[in-house]
Every structure is written in structure tokens, then in C-alpha cells.
A and B are shown apart, each in its own frame.
Chain A
């Protein structure tokens, strides 16, 4: 029985590192504005203005990529723990303190797994699909602000950009489903397309509800419009409009679940019906890509919801990236909590929910909000 001992040794050695890393991560997030300011100043002093901007953006991209690539690793562990405790289990316990290193172990395992490309499939599409899916999920992070000025690109049409680029993911899923030459994958891809087409509409309507109230598509402006915290003239959107925004928030959250293919809307990969749906034929790193994309998309949805309705980085007592991080983490937790509680909808019920309930309510909310906004102005 040598092996477990070695395991224990490794995890004993690595655990403090991970805990220290997590602590450092939180501190870094809390101090992000100051760090960014310092770097900006340093770069401005060292380089000519054009190059300083380029270097600044490059560093931002690097930091974001690093962040969003690390997040799934943490979230997967987090989800497994949430699942385990909802089910009276312990969850991963072996690798590191309460299994925090489990995702690293799984990642290494996936890296070393054989990349199976089955016979009779469309190789090019099969290879591109995971990349597209990851792009769709992670590309949107370019416009998500972590704090005032802490984002890669301050697009003035950021919301439009997010809606557009997340649709790429669905194309990737459709592509994966088609290219796999597997009937279950095909079903998964088709279901995903139907789901996306349907759920884009209420999402867009709810975004319009927010935009009507704020008057800008830029996420920075939206947060700025909620700058007073829980009370005051410019409080969080969730608490405004006599509770209408709560309805809007719920609809946005439901649509977010559907767009990230999370239970109860995980019909494209419905494990008990379609085996694994669109990624049945994938293995190794390509499978890991789908996994990363799923968790990236979860974070994105939660982050956007936090920005639109919960004031982004503006907290009741203090503000900053840490507040944003905690809000998003809470929303991600709610997603996981829902997943481990609810059964899965059927495909027609999923569409009925969208067309019969979400869209009419979202439309009504839009009309009422528009009316109230006009009255206010």
C-alpha cells in the first residue's frame, strides 16, 4: 500500500501552496485596482504612449486569460463539493485539503488521455468545434469589468457583443454534434440550436429592460448607474421599479441557465437520454475544452447578472473587484444548487417554457418599464 502514502505526501506538500495561492488570489483581486494603477503608471513612465496602451491591453488579456482559465478548475471542485454535500456525501477528499487539487489531477489525466477521433467523422469540424465553444464562452470576458476601468476593452456596445459572441458557443455545439457522426450527438446539437434560438429572445428583451433604465449598453456605465449601493437614488437595479426588476432578474437567470446548458435545461447533453449529447465522441483535452467552456459560461452568466442587477463591484459597505467576485460566486452557487435539486425538462417543455412564459412576461416587463421610464423622464 505504497501508493496512497505517496498521494498523501504530494497533497500534503501541495495543499499549503494551494491554500496560500487561493488566499493570494483573493488578496490580489481585492487589490486589483491599485495593482493595475501601478502597472499603468509604470508602463506610462517607461514606454511611449501608444506602446504603453498596447502593453497595457496585452497585460490585461494575459491576466484575464489566466483568471478565466483558473476559474473552472476551482469551480469544478466547488461544484463537486456542493453536489456532495447536497447528497450527504463527502465529495473529493483525497487530493489535497478536502480535495482542492482534484481538478488538477483530473486535468493532468485528461491531458494524457488518448485523443480519440472515431472513424467516419468530419475531422476538421470535429477539431474546430471545441475551440469555438471555448471562444464563445471566454471571448465575452473581454468586456466584463472587474472594477472601474478593470477590463480589457471598454466597448460601448458591450452587451450586444456578449449576446453575439456567446452565440458562437451554440454554433460550436451544433458543429460538434454534426461532425461526430453519431446520432445521439446530432440530437444534442439540434436540441442546442433550438434552445439557443428560443432563449436568445427573452435574454435580449431583459437586456433591453436594463438598457432602458440605464441608457447605455456599456457595462461600465450600467455599474456606474448603480453606484449608490443598496439605498439611494442610484441603487442596485434589482431593488428598483417596484419589484419588476426582480422578475427580470429571474428571467435573465433562467435564460442564463438555459444558454449554458445547465440542469434543468441540460437537454443538449442530457446524460440519461443522449448518453452525453454533443460531446459523446470527444475525449481527452477536447472534452476538457467543453468542460472549461461550460464553467466559463456559468461564470460569465453569473457575472453579467451581477453587473446588470446587483451593481457589479458596488457593494453596500465597500466596493471593488472582491465584491464582484463574491456576488458572482454566489450566483454560480445558486446555479449549482439548482442543478443538484431539479430534474430535467423535456425539449418541448423547455421551448414551451420559453415561448409561453418567459417571452410574454419579459415583453410585458419591457413595456411596463418603458412606460415608467418615459414617465420618469
Chain B
């Protein structure tokens, strides 16, 4: 009998404790906010804890290549764990006017293909570190949905190949990427 009443008492007590918690929360300020990206794009980066304007300092979202700076070293292609970067280069002719990347590195390769398949990208940022001219970067842009998967192939190269492309071997990633 004692246990019986105790059960009732404990149930009632703990239920009212819980009700008290939820009741308090009816009057607490909301943790969420209205998503107002249409009116105020900056609001996407609002955070409860991180100071304003600092959340996206190191954001790793959409990849971008400043193709003018690319020297065609293929470091990023090598390091990519999912093989989503494809680069084809041609040697620039000796008689062509020398061009330089914005940090002064001489560009000796003509980048005729610089494709990034964003549908494969795993946003690990490993491609960014080895780049000697900081031309491949990750931007804080994250709204880039497409209606067709093919449109996720970003083709950055601006120059057309002068010679017919040499046989380029791409082994499919052995484990399927």
C-alpha cells in the first residue's frame, strides 16, 4: 500500500516538475529566428554564440578558382580524396609573352581544362592548402542548388587547347569515390 501511494506521488511530482519546465519555456526568448535571407542575406550568419560577422570567416562551402592565378601545378588534383578536380595543361610556347600570377609566380602552363565536379566534392578543403598561388579557395556561398546534376560540373578554364589533347589517363578511383 505504501509503495502504491509512493508510485502515485512520484509520478505526480515528476510530471509536475516536467510541466513546470515546459511552462517556463513558454515565456523564454526563442532560440530560433525567422529565416529572413530574402530580405537580409547577412542574417544567414547570425549565431547565438559567435559574434556577428565572424561565423563565416573560415567557411568551407562552394569552391572557386581564380583561374588567372593558376599555374597548372596540379597539386590540388593530386590531393583531392574524392578525385573531383580535373586539370589538363599544355606547355606554353617559348615565344609567347610571359605572364605571371598575382603573386609574381611565372605561369609556364596553359590551363585548358580546370573542372571541379561539385557534386562529388566532400568539402574537406585539402585542395586549398597545397596551392602555391592561393588560387583555389572555398567561399562562404552555400546556396547553389541546381536543377540538373550536370550543372555541378564547374568549368573554370578560359583558354582553349591549341593542340589536340594528349591521351590523358584518368583511372577511376579504385574504391568508387
B15 at the interface (CB under 8 A from A): yes
Q: Which of A85, A342, A357 is in CB contact (< 8 Å) with B25? A: A85
Pairwise interchain contact A337-B22, C-beta atoms closer than 8 A: yes
Pairwise interchain contact A337-B25, C-beta atoms closer than 8 A: no
Pairwise interchain contact B38-A1, C-beta atoms closer than 8 A: yes
Pairwise interchain contact B30-A88, C-beta atoms closer than 8 A: yes
> With the chains together, A54 CA to B38 CA distance in Å?
56
Pairwise interchain contact A90-B30, C-beta atoms closer than 8 A: yes
Would you give the 0/1 interface string for B3-35, flagging 1 where the beta carbon is closer than 8 Å to chain A?
Answer: 000011000000100110111011011111110
Would you give the 0/1 interface string for A80-98, flagging 1 where the beta carbon is closer than 8 Å to chain B?
Answer: 0010011111100100000
Pairwise interchain contact A341-B22, C-beta atoms closer than 8 A: yes
Pairwise interchain contact A337-B30, C-beta atoms closer than 8 A: no
How near does chain B come to A123, taking the closest CB pair, in angstroms?
Answer: 38
Given A89-B30, A89-B32, A90-B34, do A337 and B8 touch, yes or no (CB 8 Å)? Answer: no
Pairwise interchain contact B18-A88, C-beta atoms closer than 8 A: no
> With the chains together, A6 CA to B31 CA distance in Å?
27
> With the chains together, A250 CA to B98 CA distance in Å?
88
> With the chains together, A185 CA to B22 CA distance in Å?
32
Dominant secondary structure at the B interface? helix
Pairwise interchain contact B33-A90, C-beta atoms closer than 8 A: yes
A338 at the interface (CB under 8 A from B): yes
How near does chain A come to B1, taking the closest CB pair, in angstroms?
Answer: 11
Would you give the 0/1 interface string for A1-14, flagging 1 where the beta carbon is closer than 8 Å to chain B?
Answer: 10011000000000
Residues of A within 8 Å of B18, CB to CB, are 341-342
Residues of A within 8 Å of B31, CB to CB, are 88-89
Residues of B within 8 Å of A4, CB to CB, are 38
Pairwise interchain contact A342-B15, C-beta atoms closer than 8 A: yes
Closest to A94 in B: B34
Q: Which of B8, B21, B26, B33 is in CB contact (< 8 Å) with A85? A: B26
Closest to A356 in B: B4
Q: Which of A1, A82, A90, A357 is in CB contact (< 8 Å) with B32? A: A90
Would you give the 0/1 interface string for A326-359, flagging 1 where the beta carbon is closer than 8 Å to chain B?
Answer: 0000000000011011100000000000000100
Pairwise interchain contact A337-B32, C-beta atoms closer than 8 A: no
How near does chain B come to A258, taking the closest CB pair, in angstroms?
Answer: 15
> With the chains together, A105 CA to B58 CA distance in Å?
39
How near does chain A come to B165, taking the closest CB pair, in angstroms?
Answer: 41
Chain A contributes a number of interface residues (CB within 8 A of B) equal to 17
Residues of B within 8 Å of A1, CB to CB, are 38
Residues of B within 8 Å of A87, CB to CB, are 25
Residues of B within 8 Å of A89, CB to CB, are 30-32
> With the chains together, A342 CA to B8 CA distance in Å?
16
Given A1-B38, A4-B38, A342-B15, do A86 and B22 touch, yes or no (CB 8 Å)? Answer: yes
Given A337-B22, A341-B19, A342-B18, do A88 and B28 touch, yes or no (CB 8 Å)? Answer: yes
Closest to B19 in A: A341
> With the chains together, A150 CA to B40 CA distance in Å?
52
> With the chains together, A85 CA to B34 CA distance in Å?
14
Q: Which of A5, A90, A340 is in CB contact (< 8 Å) with B22? A: A340
Closest to A93 in B: B34
Pairwise interchain contact B8-A357, C-beta atoms closer than 8 A: yes
Interface residues of A in 63-92 (CB under 8 A from B): 82, 85-90
> With the chains together, A215 CA to B128 CA distance in Å?
84
Closest to B16 in A: A341
Closest to B29 in A: A88
Residues of B within 8 Å of A341, CB to CB, are 15, 18-19, 21-22
Residues of B within 8 Å of A5, CB to CB, are 38
> With the chains together, A2 CA to B85 CA distance in Å?
35
Given A342-B15, A357-B8, do A88 and B32 touch, yes or no (CB 8 Å)? Answer: yes
Interface residues of A in 84-126 (CB under 8 A from B): 85-90, 93
How near does chain B come to A16, taking the closest CB pair, in angstroms?
Answer: 20
Residues of A within 8 Å of B33, CB to CB, are 90
Residues of A within 8 Å of B21, CB to CB, are 341
> With the chains together, A118 CA to B69 CA distance in Å?
59
How near does chain B come to A338, taking the closest CB pair, in angstroms?
Answer: 7
> With the chains together, A1 CA to B143 CA distance in Å?
12
Closest to A250 in B: B12
> With the chains together, A88 CA to B38 CA distance in Å?
23
Residues of B within 8 Å of A338, CB to CB, are 15, 19
> With the chains together, A87 CA to B31 CA distance in Å?
9
Q: List 9 A-B contacts (CB under 8 A).
A: A4-B38, A82-B26, A86-B26, A88-B30, A88-B31, A90-B30, A337-B22, A341-B18, A341-B19
Which 3 A-B pairs rank lowest in CB-CB distance, beginning with the nearest?
A88-B31, A86-B22, A341-B18
Q: Which residues of B contact A (CB under 8 A)?
A: 7-8, 15, 18-19, 21-23, 25-26, 28-34, 38
Q: A5-B38, A86-B25, A357-B8 provided; 15 other pairs, C-beta below 8 A?
A: A1-B38, A85-B25, A85-B26, A86-B22, A88-B28, A88-B29, A89-B32, A90-B32, A90-B33, A93-B34, A337-B22, A338-B15, A341-B18, A341-B22, A342-B15
